[in-house]
Amino acid sequence: MTLATPVLPTARLRLRPFTDADADSLLALHSSTHVMRYWDSPPWNERARSERFVAMCRKLADEGTGARVAIDRAHDGSFVGWCALTEWDPDCRSASLGYCLDAAMWGHGYATEAARALLRWAFDTLDLNRVQAETDTRNVASARVLEKLGFVREGTLREECIVNGEVSDTWVFGLIRREWRPSTRSSSYRCSAARVGRE
């Protein structure tokens, strides 16, 4: 079963399917040691990684297992980053949320605005009951974004990852349909990336 990747406009952003033309922007994003400092994989160092990422986005849609969208700023088309719902399980009506934003775009509430739009689509179109997200326990900014979206911190996976050679813990967050509030307010929280939605 295929799943069409949505195009979702918000007040300041446009969420859309990835294209081959996004490869350079993706490489710039994922090659940043600052952006990737809490990820469980090293920064990219070759364009082929970007090409595989775009191919994986298409595979998600073709297999009907999720949607990963590029985020552009509406007024000038600048690439902001990406947001994704992966591991969609129609039987359990669940999926995982992930996002990654360019450091220059932090502090403007873009992560919250983009994720809220994708969650609204997911609850309305995919009829989800639960969305899960995970983040490094040191990534307080990402945790704040999730909490602003209504996620509840449900537990800690101790020493779940090794990031840059350092063992790290992971927070698990959950959002249940009955607790979902599709507010249109934006956030000013800084955010880099959640772990869900990795390559």
| Structure-block tokens of residue 27 | 């490489």
The mean pLDDT value for 191-196 works out to 42
Give the separation between CA 169 and CA 107, rounded to whole angstroms. Answer: 25
Average pLDDT of every residue of the chain: 89
- Cβ atoms of residues 36 and 49 within 8 Å: no
Which has the closest alpha carbon to 74: 142, 127, 15? 15
Q: Count of CB atoms within 10 A of residue 87's CB?
A: 17
Q: Tens digit of pLDDT for each residue in 93-116?
A: 999 999 999 999 999 999 999 999
At 149, the pLDDT band (50, 70, 90 cuts) reads: very high
**pTM exceeds 0.85 for this model:** yes
Tracing tokens 């009951």 back to the chain, one arrives at 129
Give the separation between CA 52 and CA 116, rounded to whole angstroms. Answer: 26
> What radius of gyration, in Å, describes the C-alpha atoms of the chain?
15
| Structure-block tokens of residue 18 | 């990835």
Domains of the chain: 8-179 (3.40.630.30)
